[in-house]
Amino acid sequence: MVELTLPKNSRVKEGKVWPKPKGAKRVTEFRIYRWSPDDDENPRIDTYFVDRDDCGPMVLDAIIWIKNKIDPTLTFRRSCREGVCGSCSMNIDGVNTLACTRGIDEFPVPVKVYPLPHMPVIKDLVPELSGFFAQHASTEPWLHTETPAPEKEWPQSHEERGKLDGLYECILCACCSTSCPSYWWNGDRFMGPAALLQSYRWIVDSRDEATGERLDQLEDSFRLYRCHTIMNCAKACPKDLNPAKAIAEIKKMMVTRQL
């Protein structure tokens, strides 16, 4: 019988339990993943207690409170705090989501916070997303046209514009791609749900004149067809988009153009 074990330095250990804030009448326990490249220690889970009467209602509010009031070494990304930038994407209680749009009371106690799964970690809750953004860049996310540009704007009917709904709203938070098993195992060759949704956004745009070239770029056994319609991407998307549907539409276009 084969016995598989994780490398010693990948095993997550129990970390520090920080004291409860003095005088707090209402506290919530948070268990947060910690790892730093500056030392030779294993990843650990630190335990914090947040004074709810001194903190905002969102998970991101609590993480910021912890950094400001308890542990300034805690590292994470955040920016808009309104579910627009995608910076604060992380795994909360096993769900990839945005910390700024999810309330603390939505999760059981203790609230467990980890970085996005199956991505290299830079530090604590900050994943390495260079490859993810490189895949997005490879879709060439801008209009490709040969027709001379009009004096004012490219015309588009209401129906044509409506085809972009559910696509342009993607904020590139990576929640969908990092929830996809196919992306976990083939992230270097499979473009992933986010990049493919972005590809379809330009393929279906009536103003773009490079549909054939865009489809040619995706004609590969890994780039597109590694999607197995598991639907984790649609479930994880904090903007309620459906990358799996966009991928299915691209596959349909691939078949149609060969008829």
pLDDT at 134 over 70: yes
3 inside domain: no
Indicate the pLDDT class of residue 2, thresholds 50, 70 and 90. Answer: low
Contacts of residues 154-159 at CB distance under 8 Å and 24 or more positions apart, as own/partner, are 154/207, 156/206, 156/207, 157/206
193 inside domain: yes
Q: What is the mean pLDDT of residues 87-104?
A: 97
2 inside domain: no
Give exposure, 236-249, as e/b (b: 16+ Cβ within 10 Å). bbbbebbbbbbbeb
| Pair 170, 199: CB distance under 8 Å | no
Structural domain span for residue 193: 130-142+155-256
20, 63: one domain: yes
User: What is the helix, strand, coil percentage profile of the chain, to 5?
Assistant: 30, 15, 55
100, 82: one domain: yes
User: What integer pLDDT is reported at residue 6 of this predicted model?
Assistant: 67
CATH number of the domain enclosing 162: 1.10.1060.10
CATH number of the domain enclosing 31: 3.10.20.30
150 inside domain: no
The model's pTM is 0.91
Cα-atom radius of gyration of the chain, to the nearest Å?
Answer: 21
Q: What is the pLDDT of residues 28-40, one digit of tens each?
A: 999 999 999 998 8
Residue with tokens 């705090």, as numbered in its chain: 81
Number of independent structural domains in the chain: 2
Residue 158's CB is within 10 A of a number of other CB atoms, namely 6
